[in-house]
Amino acid sequence: MISRRDFLQVGMAASALVGASGFGNWSKLAAQQALTQDELLQFDTFGNVSLIHVTDIHAQLKPVYFREPEVNIGVGANKGEVPHITGATFRKMYGIEDGSPAHYALTYDDFTALAQAYGRMGGMDRVATVVNAIRADRPDAILLDGGDTWHGSYTCHHTEGQDMVNVMNALKPDAMTFHWEFTLGQDRVRELVEGLPFAALGQNIFDAEWDEPSEEFAPYEFFERGGTKIAVIGQAFPYTPIANPSWLFPDYSFGIRDERMQEMVNEVRGQGAELVVVLSHNGFDVDKQMATVVEGIDVILSGHTHDAVPEPVLVGETMIVASGSNGKFVSRVDLDVRDGRMMGFRHKLIPVFSDVIEPDAEMTALIDEQRAPFEAEMGEVIGQTDSLLYRRGNFNGTWDDLICDALLSEREAEIALSPGVRWGPSLIPGDDITREDIWNVTSMSYPEAYRTEMTGEFLKVVLEDVADNIFNPNPYYQQGGDMVRTGGLGYRIDVSRPQGERISDLTLLGSGEAIEADRSYVVAGWASVNEGTEGPPIWDVVESHVRKLGTVSVSGNDDVTVTGVEGE
């Protein structure tokens, strides 16, 4: 069996060594002099196979700030386990110094100060430089895209994913799997998938009518590399028709379908695969569980839950690699595959510091070409922010506070609901808020900001339902998002309880009174999965609100009290 310590190259921890003492004395210049492209890309090529993993880019072509979560609670067997570790605990676990680049890239605290020192991360032209550098070491490295690529920006929405397809085609991935892509609508998905010059994979993408594997998505693809036969099996997001509107893609069914995954592993092994890689959009905890149920997977490249994990997590003989989101990271995994099995690996989670990694000129030009028709309208400054605007966290983020405030005031509601999605980059105090920034946190194909009445009882049902999608102790019943955000509504949640018993003390914040089960409340929200939802698009609602405010100040909130995290 592999000796983990022998083969592991702790990329992030190594780069943290330059961090020296606290960030407070560092000017931006000093910080960047301490960090070089060569250092970020340094990797002693190992074995005979290289995998490159990117995932959950959410159409972020340009560098962004992206604050990682402060609150990311694990339940059941995943309590206190990676990736449910944040902040100082995370840094201690991985030997990351306070104030170091790795602190900034991987944890949430002191985000504003560190963002000013280290700058934005990602940008697909920087990602191209990283990919090209790996290919210079290993020309036949396999580049795999974990999905959530054709969603999440102004240009992606207006081109129906074409900007991302053009950019990714230039990056030349070898295979891809899917989730938000389907929200473009099934006709558009078919059109784009048919034109892809690489494999579109999903062993769990089924024909909804016949409950049989879809003929439009292959379950796996074989690659011959370094004298070995490698199978890459695709796993799309299992709950796409539940977390997103199924009416946009009624011909397709998904599900975890781990029994078929086992059949596919057996099938590719039977055809001589010496290395079995799963390109997954399951989410980290689901992938861990699947690794215990399905035998014979060597590597799971994990997406969906946006976790950036500096070391692979080993479950039995399966190695799980998670590569963050929004283009912040690229994972490189070198493998030694001999005698029909994986003998060792070397891994690095490469942080894409945009001011350190030189952009690839051709890719920059291609990105600018995609953006050019929209630059004027999306570059318009709508307002400014005095506060750090971020989204990630189990219960709330300041971007969502702002969106909920916009819904309450623009839609004249008592209560606002905003979906607990994990995408959406951050802005730091002093930043302009452009139209593009607003679209980065709201862009989707079902943006209608509805206004309706809900009884107190129904509101509790909604909160209980969503809470169980996050805190069900069995990962197979989790959907991988965060809790629905509430405006004008406070509550207590005991994450350790079963569904129906987690939520209590619902309070209408406007009056301070307890929510009554029988009373109706005026509720505004967006991103309903129901067909026929009516209302103005959420980005117009937020834009109008920000225009009126001029300068946004959001201090965060303590409207949700969380219990059941500590102890048993």
Partner 1 sequence: MEFTRRETLVIGAAAAAVAALPMPAMAATTDELIAEFTGGADVAEGGVDLDAPEIAENGNTVPIEVGAEGATAIMVLAAGNPVPPVATFNFGPLAGATRAKTRIRLATSQDVIAVAKLADGSFAKATKAVKVTIGGCGG
Query: Minimal distance in Å, beta carbon 20 to partner 1?
Result: 35
Answer whether the bond into residue 83 is a cis peptide, omega within 30°: yes
Residue 340, phi-psi category: left (phi > 0), alpha (psi -120 to 50), beta (remainder): left
Cβ distance to partner 1 smaller for residue 155 or 246: 246
Q: Which of 107, 228, 396, 469 binds partner 1 (CB under 8 A)?
A: 469
The H or E element spanning position 451 is strand 450-455
Alpha helix positions (H), 215-276: 240-243, 258-270
| Binding of residue 239 to partner 1 (CB under 8 A) | yes
| Binding of residue 146 to partner 1 (CB under 8 A) | no
Query: Minimal distance in Å, beta carbon 8 to partner 1?
Result: 27
The torsion of the CA quartet 380, 382, 383, 388, rounded to 10 degrees, works out to: -80
Q: Which of 62, 225, 328, 422 binds partner 1 (CB under 8 A)?
A: 422
In residues, how long is the chain? 568
- Asked if 101 and 32 count as a contact pair (C-beta separation under 8 A), the reply is no
- Asked if 404 and 41 count as a contact pair (C-beta separation under 8 A), the reply is no
Q: Candidates 38-46, 159-167, 470-478, 554-562 — which segment interacts with partner 1 by CB under 8 A?
A: 470-478
Distance of CA 151 to CAs 161, 508, 545, Å? 7, 34, 24
| Binding of residue 283 to partner 1 (CB under 8 A) | yes
Residue 244 has φ and ψ, to the nearest 5°, of -130, 165
User: Which are the contacts of 364, defined by CB distance < 8 A and separation ≥ 6?
Assistant: 125
Q: Which residues in the 381-420 window bind partner 1 by CB under 8 A?
A: 419-420
| Binding of residue 77 to partner 1 (CB under 8 A) | no
| Binding of residue 481 to partner 1 (CB under 8 A) | yes
| Binding of residue 304 to partner 1 (CB under 8 A) | yes
Of 259, 196, 200, nearest in space to 233 by CA: 200
Q: Which of 240, 370, 426, 442 binds partner 1 (CB under 8 A)?
A: 240
Q: Candidates 195-203, 232-240, 313-321, 510-518 — which segment interacts with partner 1 by CB under 8 A?
A: 232-240
Query: Minimal distance in Å, beta carbon 466 to partner 1?
Result: 5
- Asked if 286 and 478 count as a contact pair (C-beta separation under 8 A), the reply is yes
| Binding of residue 254 to partner 1 (CB under 8 A) | yes
| Binding of residue 63 to partner 1 (CB under 8 A) | no
Query: Minimal distance in Å, beta carbon 15 to partner 1?
Result: 26
Residue 17, phi-psi category: left (phi > 0), alpha (psi -120 to 50), beta (remainder): alpha
- Asked if 551 and 383 count as a contact pair (C-beta separation under 8 A), the reply is yes
Q: Which of 207, 468, 494, 540 binds partner 1 (CB under 8 A)?
A: 468
Q: Which of 2, 242, 314, 315 binds partner 1 (CB under 8 A)?
A: 242
| Binding of residue 318 to partner 1 (CB under 8 A) | no
Q: Candidates 36-44, 79-87, 434-442, 463-471 — which segment interacts with partner 1 by CB under 8 A?
A: 463-471
| Binding of residue 343 to partner 1 (CB under 8 A) | no
The H or E element spanning position 130 is helix 124-137
Cβ burial, residue 505 (10 Å; 0-12/13-18/19+): exposed
Total binding residues toward partner 1, as defined by CB under 8 A: 47
Q: What are the residues binding partner 1 (CB under 8 A)? A: 56, 148, 179-180, 208, 211, 237-244, 246, 253-256, 259, 283, 304-306, 419-423, 461-462, 465-466, 468-469, 474, 476-477, 479-482, 484, 499, 527, 529-530
